[in-house]
Chains A and B, each alone.
Chain A
Protein backbone atom coordinates (compact mmCIF):
# COMPACT_ATOMS: atom_id res chain seq x y z
CA UNK A 1 0.00 0.00 0.00
CA UNK A 2 3.00 2.30 0.40
CA UNK A 3 2.85 3.73 -3.12
CA UNK A 4 -0.90 4.25 -2.91
CA UNK A 5 -2.45 7.66 -2.72
CA UNK A 6 -5.77 8.69 -1.27
CA UNK A 7 -7.90 11.76 -1.77
CA UNK A 8 -10.76 13.46 0.07
CA UNK A 9 -14.10 12.54 -1.51
CA UNK A 10 -16.57 14.42 0.67
CA UNK A 11 -16.77 18.14 1.13
CA UNK A 12 -15.03 18.83 4.38
CA UNK A 13 -14.07 22.00 6.19
CA UNK A 14 -10.84 21.64 8.12
CA UNK A 15 -9.15 24.10 10.45
CA UNK A 16 -5.81 23.30 12.06
CA UNK A 17 -5.56 24.73 15.57
CA UNK A 18 -2.30 24.36 17.47
CA UNK A 19 -1.27 21.62 15.06
CA UNK A 20 -4.48 19.62 15.49
CA UNK A 21 -7.27 19.49 12.95
CA UNK A 22 -10.95 19.94 13.61
CA UNK A 23 -12.99 18.80 10.67
CA UNK A 24 -16.64 19.00 9.68
CA UNK A 25 -18.06 16.85 6.91
CA UNK A 26 -20.48 19.26 5.26
CA UNK A 27 -23.00 16.69 4.09
CA UNK A 28 -23.94 15.66 7.64
CA UNK A 29 -22.25 18.33 9.83
CA UNK A 30 -20.43 15.57 11.73
CA UNK A 31 -17.40 16.66 13.72
CA UNK A 32 -14.05 14.91 13.63
CA UNK A 33 -10.99 15.84 15.68
CA UNK A 34 -7.53 14.66 14.72
CA UNK A 35 -4.46 14.51 16.94
CA UNK A 36 -1.17 16.05 15.81
CA UNK A 37 0.15 13.04 13.88
CA UNK A 38 -3.24 12.30 12.33
CA UNK A 39 -3.37 15.94 11.25
CA UNK A 40 -0.06 15.47 9.42
CA UNK A 41 -1.47 12.40 7.71
CA UNK A 42 -4.54 14.39 6.63
CA UNK A 43 -2.37 17.20 5.27
CA UNK A 44 -0.38 14.61 3.34
CA UNK A 45 -3.55 13.11 1.85
CA UNK A 46 -4.83 16.57 0.88
CA UNK A 47 -1.60 17.47 -0.85
CA UNK A 48 -1.61 14.21 -2.83
CA UNK A 49 1.37 12.53 -1.20
CA UNK A 50 1.84 8.77 -1.44
CA UNK A 51 1.37 6.76 1.74
CA UNK A 52 5.13 6.01 1.78
CA UNK A 53 5.89 9.75 1.77
CA UNK A 54 3.43 10.37 4.57
CA UNK A 55 4.98 7.54 6.63
CA UNK A 56 8.47 8.97 6.05
CA UNK A 57 7.27 12.41 7.16
CA UNK A 58 5.83 11.01 10.38
CA UNK A 59 9.05 9.12 11.18
CA UNK A 60 11.07 12.31 10.77
CA UNK A 61 8.73 14.63 12.68
CA UNK A 62 7.58 12.42 15.53
CA UNK A 63 10.66 10.18 15.93
CA UNK A 64 8.70 6.95 15.62
CA UNK A 65 9.72 3.73 13.90
CA UNK A 66 8.69 3.12 10.32
CA UNK A 67 6.54 0.20 11.46
CA UNK A 68 4.74 2.34 14.04
CA UNK A 69 4.19 5.19 11.59
CA UNK A 70 2.90 2.76 8.98
CA UNK A 71 0.50 1.21 11.48
CA UNK A 72 -0.77 4.67 12.53
CA UNK A 73 -1.31 5.78 8.93
CA UNK A 74 -3.05 2.53 8.06
CA UNK A 75 -5.35 2.83 11.08
CA UNK A 76 -6.32 6.42 10.26
CA UNK A 77 -6.85 5.67 6.58
CA UNK A 78 -9.08 2.77 7.58
CA UNK A 79 -11.18 5.10 9.69
CA UNK A 80 -11.38 7.79 7.02
CA UNK A 81 -12.28 5.17 4.41
CA UNK A 82 -14.97 3.72 6.67
CA UNK A 83 -16.48 7.18 7.18
CA UNK A 84 -16.42 7.81 3.44
CA UNK A 85 -14.13 10.82 3.86
CA UNK A 86 -11.33 9.55 1.60
CA UNK A 87 -11.03 7.05 -1.25
CA UNK A 88 -8.11 5.60 -3.22
CA UNK A 89 -6.93 8.34 -5.59
CA UNK A 90 -7.33 6.14 -8.65
CA UNK A 91 -11.08 5.64 -7.99
CA UNK A 92 -13.60 7.61 -10.01
CA UNK A 93 -14.16 11.08 -8.59
CA UNK A 94 -17.41 11.08 -6.59
CA UNK A 95 -17.52 14.57 -5.19
CA UNK A 96 -15.09 17.44 -5.36
CA UNK A 97 -13.22 18.10 -2.17
CA UNK A 98 -14.03 21.27 -0.30
CA UNK A 99 -11.59 23.87 0.95
Chain B
Protein backbone atom coordinates (compact mmCIF):
# COMPACT_ATOMS: atom_id res chain seq x y z
CA UNK B 1 0.00 0.00 0.00
CA UNK B 2 1.33 3.44 -0.90
CA UNK B 3 2.45 5.40 2.15
CA UNK B 4 0.48 8.66 2.25
CA UNK B 5 3.57 10.66 3.24
CA UNK B 6 5.32 9.53 0.05
CA UNK B 7 2.23 10.15 -2.08
CA UNK B 8 2.20 13.74 -0.82
CA UNK B 9 5.97 14.13 -0.84
CA UNK B 10 8.48 15.24 -3.46
CA UNK B 11 9.07 13.00 -6.48
CA UNK B 12 12.14 13.40 -8.61
CA UNK B 13 13.71 11.50 -11.49
CA UNK B 14 17.47 11.38 -11.96
CA UNK B 15 19.04 9.25 -14.72
CA UNK B 16 15.73 7.41 -15.18
CA UNK B 17 15.65 6.47 -11.49
CA UNK B 18 12.52 7.63 -9.69
CA UNK B 19 12.96 8.79 -6.10
CA UNK B 20 10.21 9.73 -3.62
CA UNK B 21 11.19 11.90 -0.66
CA UNK B 22 9.00 12.29 2.41
CA UNK B 23 9.60 14.58 5.36
CA UNK B 24 7.39 16.14 7.98
CA UNK B 25 9.63 19.23 8.09
CA UNK B 26 7.87 21.87 5.97
CA UNK B 27 10.93 24.12 5.62
CA UNK B 28 13.13 21.22 4.50
CA UNK B 29 10.42 20.04 2.12
CA UNK B 30 10.28 23.51 0.53
CA UNK B 31 14.09 23.63 0.29
CA UNK B 32 14.16 20.24 -1.43
CA UNK B 33 11.46 21.30 -3.89
CA UNK B 34 13.56 24.28 -4.82
CA UNK B 35 16.83 22.31 -4.93
CA UNK B 36 15.44 19.63 -7.25
CA UNK B 37 13.15 21.93 -9.27
CA UNK B 38 14.50 20.77 -12.64
CA UNK B 39 14.29 17.10 -11.73
CA UNK B 40 10.75 16.79 -10.38
CA UNK B 41 8.69 14.16 -12.16
CA UNK B 42 5.68 12.06 -11.27
CA UNK B 43 6.62 8.43 -11.10
CA UNK B 44 4.18 5.60 -10.44
CA UNK B 45 6.71 3.28 -8.86
CA UNK B 46 9.76 5.08 -7.45
CA UNK B 47 12.84 2.88 -7.18
CA UNK B 48 13.85 4.57 -3.95
CA UNK B 49 11.56 5.82 -1.19
CA UNK B 50 13.53 7.97 1.21
CA UNK B 51 12.10 9.11 4.52
CA UNK B 52 13.92 12.15 5.88
CA UNK B 53 13.88 13.06 9.54
CA UNK B 54 15.42 16.40 10.55
CA UNK B 55 18.14 16.15 13.20
CA UNK B 56 19.50 19.69 13.78
CA UNK B 57 22.09 18.41 16.28
CA UNK B 58 23.98 16.57 13.54
CA UNK B 59 25.49 19.77 12.19
CA UNK B 60 27.55 20.24 15.32
CA UNK B 61 28.59 16.62 15.73
CA UNK B 62 32.26 16.34 16.65
CA UNK B 63 34.50 15.06 13.85
CA UNK B 64 35.91 11.57 14.11
CA UNK B 65 39.48 12.10 15.47
CA UNK B 66 41.24 9.75 13.05
CA UNK B 67 39.63 11.52 10.09
CA UNK B 68 40.23 15.07 11.29
CA UNK B 69 41.07 17.36 8.41
CA UNK B 70 39.53 15.02 5.84
CA UNK B 71 36.00 15.16 4.48
CA UNK B 72 34.30 12.50 6.52
CA UNK B 73 32.09 10.10 4.66
CA UNK B 74 31.60 6.58 5.93
CA UNK B 75 29.80 3.94 3.86
CA UNK B 76 29.43 0.42 5.19
CA UNK B 77 27.47 -2.58 4.04
CA UNK B 78 24.84 -3.26 6.66
CA UNK B 79 22.85 -6.45 6.28
CA UNK B 80 21.18 -6.22 2.88
CA UNK B 81 21.84 -2.50 2.56
CA UNK B 82 24.28 0.26 3.35
CA UNK B 83 24.77 2.61 6.29
CA UNK B 84 25.96 6.00 5.09
CA UNK B 85 27.23 8.67 7.49
CA UNK B 86 28.69 12.12 7.15
CA UNK B 87 29.02 14.89 9.72
CA UNK B 88 25.63 16.30 8.72
CA UNK B 89 23.68 13.08 8.17
CA UNK B 90 23.34 9.41 8.95
CA UNK B 91 21.11 7.05 7.09
CA UNK B 92 20.43 3.56 5.82
CA UNK B 93 19.47 2.47 2.36
CA UNK B 94 18.23 -0.93 1.23
CA UNK B 95 18.72 -1.05 -2.52
CA UNK B 96 16.90 -4.38 -2.85
CA UNK B 97 13.72 -3.07 -1.24
CA UNK B 98 14.21 0.45 -2.52
CA UNK B 99 13.81 2.09 0.86
CA UNK B 100 15.89 4.53 2.86
CA UNK B 101 15.79 6.29 6.22
CA UNK B 102 17.81 9.46 6.69
CA UNK B 103 18.42 11.63 9.74
CA UNK B 104 20.08 14.87 8.78
CA UNK B 105 20.78 18.47 9.44
CA UNK B 106 17.62 19.90 7.85
CA UNK B 107 19.21 21.37 4.75
CA UNK B 108 18.89 20.29 1.12
CA UNK B 109 22.69 19.84 0.90
CA UNK B 110 22.61 17.10 3.54
CA UNK B 111 19.88 15.19 1.66
CA UNK B 112 21.80 15.77 -1.55
CA UNK B 113 24.98 14.31 -0.03
CA UNK B 114 23.12 11.16 0.99
CA UNK B 115 21.43 10.84 -2.41
CA UNK B 116 24.76 11.13 -4.24
CA UNK B 117 26.07 8.10 -2.37
CA UNK B 118 22.81 6.21 -2.95
CA UNK B 119 23.14 6.90 -6.67
CA UNK B 120 26.78 5.79 -6.74
CA UNK B 121 25.53 2.41 -5.49
CA UNK B 122 22.29 2.26 -7.49
CA UNK B 123 23.92 3.09 -10.81
CA UNK B 124 26.44 0.25 -10.43
CA UNK B 125 23.53 -2.15 -9.94
CA UNK B 126 22.06 -0.87 -13.19
CA UNK B 127 25.19 -1.53 -15.20
CA UNK B 128 26.72 1.93 -15.06
CA UNK B 129 29.13 4.08 -13.09
CA UNK B 130 29.01 7.40 -11.30
CA UNK B 131 32.18 9.09 -12.52
CA UNK B 132 34.05 11.98 -10.96
CA UNK B 133 33.81 13.78 -14.29
CA UNK B 134 32.42 16.78 -16.08
CA UNK B 135 30.21 16.14 -19.10
CA UNK B 136 29.53 18.36 -22.06
CA UNK B 137 27.24 17.75 -25.04
CA UNK B 138 28.58 18.49 -28.49
CA UNK B 139 26.74 17.61 -31.70
CA UNK B 140 24.16 15.63 -29.74
CA UNK B 141 26.76 13.37 -28.14
CA UNK B 142 28.14 13.44 -24.63
CA UNK B 143 31.83 13.73 -23.77
CA UNK B 144 33.01 13.09 -20.23
CA UNK B 145 36.17 14.70 -18.83
CA UNK B 146 37.69 13.08 -15.81
CA UNK B 147 40.67 13.27 -13.52
CA UNK B 148 41.47 14.14 -9.94
CA UNK B 149 40.57 17.51 -8.44
CA UNK B 150 42.59 20.19 -10.21
CA UNK B 151 42.87 18.20 -13.46
CA UNK B 152 40.72 20.70 -15.33
CA UNK B 153 37.09 19.52 -15.17
CA UNK B 154 35.76 22.94 -14.22
CA UNK B 155 38.07 24.58 -16.77
CA UNK B 156 36.65 22.37 -19.53
CA UNK B 157 33.14 23.51 -18.56
CA UNK B 158 34.19 27.15 -18.55
CA UNK B 159 35.56 26.67 -22.08
CA UNK B 160 32.40 24.90 -23.32
CA UNK B 161 31.12 27.98 -25.13
CA UNK B 162 27.68 27.32 -26.62
CA UNK B 163 27.79 23.60 -25.83
CA UNK B 164 25.49 22.18 -23.14
CA UNK B 165 27.15 21.43 -19.81
CA UNK B 166 25.51 18.37 -18.26
CA UNK B 167 27.60 18.46 -15.11
CA UNK B 168 30.93 19.83 -13.91
CA UNK B 169 31.55 17.14 -11.31
CA UNK B 170 29.38 14.01 -11.27
CA UNK B 171 28.74 12.11 -14.47
CA UNK B 172 26.16 9.34 -14.48
CA UNK B 173 26.77 6.72 -17.16
CA UNK B 174 24.14 4.03 -17.78
CA UNK B 175 23.64 1.43 -20.49
CA UNK B 176 20.58 1.82 -22.68
CA UNK B 177 20.67 -1.32 -24.78
CA UNK B 178 22.53 0.13 -27.77
CA UNK B 179 25.42 1.64 -25.85
CA UNK B 180 25.93 3.97 -22.92
CA UNK B 181 24.29 7.28 -22.20
CA UNK B 182 25.41 10.15 -20.03
CA UNK B 183 22.73 11.74 -17.84
CA UNK B 184 22.30 15.25 -16.52
CA UNK B 185 21.89 15.28 -12.75
CA UNK B 186 21.53 17.63 -9.79
CA UNK B 187 24.93 16.81 -8.26
CA UNK B 188 27.12 19.77 -9.29
CA UNK B 189 30.62 20.70 -8.19
CA UNK B 190 32.42 24.02 -8.10
CA UNK B 191 30.17 25.66 -10.70
CA UNK B 192 27.14 24.96 -8.51
CA UNK B 193 24.95 24.81 -11.59
CA UNK B 194 22.69 21.95 -12.69
CA UNK B 195 22.61 20.84 -16.29
CA UNK B 196 19.38 19.76 -17.99
CA UNK B 197 17.56 16.62 -16.93
CA UNK B 198 18.39 14.88 -20.19
CA UNK B 199 20.51 12.01 -21.52
CA UNK B 200 22.79 11.73 -24.54
CA UNK B 201 24.82 8.93 -26.14
CA UNK B 202 28.25 8.82 -24.52
CA UNK B 203 30.88 9.27 -27.24
CA UNK B 204 34.07 9.55 -25.21
CA UNK B 205 35.63 9.59 -21.77
CA UNK B 206 38.71 11.81 -21.62
CA UNK B 207 41.37 11.57 -18.94
CA UNK B 208 42.53 15.17 -18.51
CA UNK B 209 46.20 16.10 -18.54
CA UNK B 210 47.14 19.78 -18.63
CA UNK B 211 49.70 20.53 -21.35
CA UNK B 212 50.82 23.33 -23.61
CA UNK B 213 48.96 21.99 -26.62
CA UNK B 214 46.00 19.72 -27.25
CA UNK B 215 46.29 16.09 -28.27
CA UNK B 216 44.50 12.78 -27.82
CA UNK B 217 45.90 9.31 -27.16
CA UNK B 218 43.62 6.27 -27.07
CA UNK B 219 44.13 4.20 -23.92
CA UNK B 220 44.70 0.45 -24.24
CA UNK B 221 41.69 -1.47 -22.86
CA UNK B 222 43.22 -2.43 -19.50
CA UNK B 223 44.37 1.15 -18.90
CA UNK B 224 40.94 2.40 -19.93
CA UNK B 225 39.25 0.16 -17.36
CA UNK B 226 41.67 1.27 -14.70
CA UNK B 227 41.15 4.95 -15.58
CA UNK B 228 37.37 4.54 -15.38
CA UNK B 229 37.50 2.81 -12.01
CA UNK B 230 40.10 5.18 -10.59
CA UNK B 231 37.68 8.02 -11.31
CA UNK B 232 34.51 6.29 -10.15
CA UNK B 233 32.73 7.18 -6.92
CA UNK B 234 33.25 3.68 -5.58
CA UNK B 235 31.71 3.86 -2.13
CA UNK B 236 30.91 0.17 -2.11
CA UNK B 237 34.01 -0.87 -0.16
CA UNK B 238 33.83 -4.40 1.13
CA UNK B 239 30.92 -5.11 -1.16
CA UNK B 240 30.34 -7.34 -4.16
CA UNK B 241 29.26 -4.13 -5.91
CA UNK B 242 32.98 -3.40 -6.45
CA UNK B 243 33.15 -6.52 -8.65
CA UNK B 244 30.11 -5.34 -10.57
CA UNK B 245 31.75 -1.93 -11.00
CA UNK B 246 34.72 -3.70 -12.59
CA UNK B 247 32.38 -5.49 -15.02
CA UNK B 248 30.63 -2.22 -15.83
CA UNK B 249 33.96 -0.47 -16.45
CA UNK B 250 34.97 -3.28 -18.84
CA UNK B 251 31.67 -2.87 -20.71
CA UNK B 252 32.04 0.91 -20.97
CA UNK B 253 35.67 0.61 -22.11
CA UNK B 254 34.52 -1.83 -24.78
CA UNK B 255 31.82 0.48 -26.13
CA UNK B 256 33.14 4.02 -25.69
CA UNK B 257 36.41 5.73 -26.67
CA UNK B 258 38.46 6.18 -23.50
CA UNK B 259 41.52 8.33 -24.08
CA UNK B 260 44.10 10.63 -22.56
CA UNK B 261 43.42 14.26 -23.47
CA UNK B 262 46.28 16.72 -23.26
CA UNK B 263 44.87 20.19 -23.28
CA UNK B 264 45.79 23.81 -22.78
CA UNK B 265 43.09 26.00 -21.23
CA UNK B 266 41.92 27.45 -24.55
CA UNK B 267 38.64 26.82 -26.39
CA UNK B 268 40.61 25.43 -29.36
CA UNK B 269 41.02 22.10 -27.55
CA UNK B 270 37.47 21.29 -28.67
CA UNK B 271 38.83 20.84 -32.19
CA UNK B 272 40.57 17.61 -31.17
CA UNK B 273 37.41 16.40 -29.37
CA UNK B 274 35.00 17.13 -32.20
Q: Mark A26-59, 1 if CB is under 8 A from B, else 0.
A: 1111010100000000000000000000000000
Enumerate B220-260 residues with CB–CB distance to A below 8 Å.
220-223, 225-226, 229-230, 234, 236-240, 242-243, 245-247, 249-250, 253
- Per-position contact with B for A1-37: 1 when CB-CB < 8 Å, else 0? 0000000000001010110111010111101010000
Bound: A22/B239 CA distance, A: 17
Number of A-B contacts (CB under 8 A): 52
Does A98 count as interface, using CB distance less than 8 angstroms?
yes
Alpha-carbon gap, A33 to B237, bound state (A): 18
CB distance A29 to B221 under 8 Å?
A: no
Question: Which label, helix, strand, loop or mixed, suits the secondary structure of the B interface?
Answer: helix
A26 touches B230 (CB 8 A): no
Looking across the interface, which residue of chain B has its beta carbon closest to that of A32?
B226
* Contact count band on B: 20 to 34
- Check if A83 is an interface residue, CB within 8 A of chain B: no
Q: Which of B164-199 contact A (CB under 8 A)?
A: none
Given known contacts A15-B247, A22-B229, A24-B242, what 19 new A-B pairs fall within 8 Å (CB)? Answer: A17-B221, A17-B222, A17-B253, A18-B220, A18-B222, A21-B222, A22-B222, A22-B225, A22-B246, A22-B249, A24-B245, A26-B243, A27-B237, A28-B237, A29-B236, A29-B237, A31-B230, A33-B222, A99-B243
Which B residues form the contact surface with A (CB < 8 A)?
220-223, 225-226, 229-230, 234, 236-240, 242-243, 245-247, 249-250, 253
